[in-house]
Amino acid sequence: MERLFKYILILLLGFGMLTGCAATTRLIDYGTMKTDVAMSESIFLTPTEAPKTIYVQIRNTSSNQNITGAFESMVLSGIQAKGYQIIQKPSKATYILQTNIRYLGEWKEGMNFEGTVTGAGLGALAGLGIGGPHHYAGGAIAGGLIGAGIGFVADVATRVKTEIIVIEFQITERLSEQEDVTGQQVGKTEIITDTKVMGGMGTQPDLPTSKTTDRRVSSSKPGTKIYNAAVAAKAAQVNLNVDEAAQRLIGTAGRQVAGIF
């Protein structure tokens, strides 16, 4: 019995030490805020020398309605810094940017965003290693409980919290009147050959002559290209400050969207 007790004691202490080591590692790795960002796909807009005008529409369907203004300010300032003029008439804009903040909040193991965000949003989350079904790994907590009270306290005190933001957006690019939706030139040239044949004995047909007629092909509605994508960002830290993380995420995601232009 005494020998069995010693084995159990050693086992308990071992679990406690492992938990303590894990806590120390987390504190070293995540003592300061770590951020990451991912976009569901790359977007390449058509280079243009025309006046760069853009209409921007910001929507927020998340539960955090107070962040809309900060995100809009970040996007607008980033776009204006690149020489774009913000206008209020979408019918006159070269580009139309529509964004929707779908989610801002804490991420926990086991969260599943299917049905909450679109495929583009899930793609952006996947770029962060988040988005699919996850299973909560409670081994560290169990080890702390079994090992020692001190290990459990250390584990809880150094738990890494993760805050994420998911923003979906659509960009409508209005092409010039000389382009259609596939990027082909609309202006075309048609060659018409007119051959005159003169009848009669001893006569020769006239040499073929040709003339060129320019025919402009136009459309009442200039073509457009539409891009749909999403950007996701995360912030992780031990004892994460939620408000500070939200501001960092808004800035990170806003710069990503503005960086497309």
The rounded distance, in Å, linking the Cα atoms of 63 and 40 is 23
180 domain-assigned:
no
Q: What is the pLDDT along the chain (261 residues), one digit of tens a residue?
A: 445 334 433 444 454 444 556 666 656 666 789 899 999 999 998 887 778 899 999 999 999 999 999 999 999 999 999 999 999 999 889 999 999 999 999 988 878 888 889 999 999 999 998 865 443 333 343 444 444 455 544 555 567 889 999 999 999 988 766 555 444 444 444 334 444 444 444 444 444 444 444 444 333 345 788 999 999 999 999 888 999 999 999 999 999 999 999
Q: 124-129 long-range contacts, Cβ below 8 Å, gap at least 24?
A: 124/38, 124/39, 124/40, 124/166, 124/229, 124/230, 124/231, 124/232, 125/38, 125/164, 125/166, 125/232, 126/38, 127/38, 127/39, 127/40, 127/232, 128/36, 128/37, 128/38, 128/164, 128/232, 128/233, 128/234
User: Which tokens in the block code for residue 105?
Assistant: 């909040």
Question: CA nearest 167: which of 244, 252, 77?
Answer: 252
Number of structural domains in the chain: 2
Q: In this structure, are 161 and 195 located in the same domain? A: no
157 domain-assigned:
yes
Residue 201 CA neighbour count, 13 Å, CB half: 0
The rounded distance, in Å, linking the Cα atoms of 97 and 258 is 10
Q: In this structure, are 159 and 212 located in the same domain? A: no
Question: CA nearest 125: which of 251, 24, 37, 5?
Answer: 37
72 domain-assigned:
yes
The rounded distance, in Å, linking the Cα atoms of 173 and 243 is 35
73 domain-assigned:
yes
Determine the structural domain holding residue 216 and report its residue range: 186-221
Q: What is the pTM of this model?
A: 0.67
Q: In this structure, are 208 and 235 located in the same domain? A: no
Q: In this structure, are 196 and 111 located in the same domain? A: no
116 domain-assigned:
yes
Q: In this structure, are 131 and 204 located in the same domain? A: no
User: Which tokens in the block code for residue 72?
Assistant: 């809009």
Q: In this structure, are 121 and 206 located in the same domain? A: no
pLDDT in the model for residue 149: 54
Q: In this structure, are 216 and 111 located in the same domain? A: no
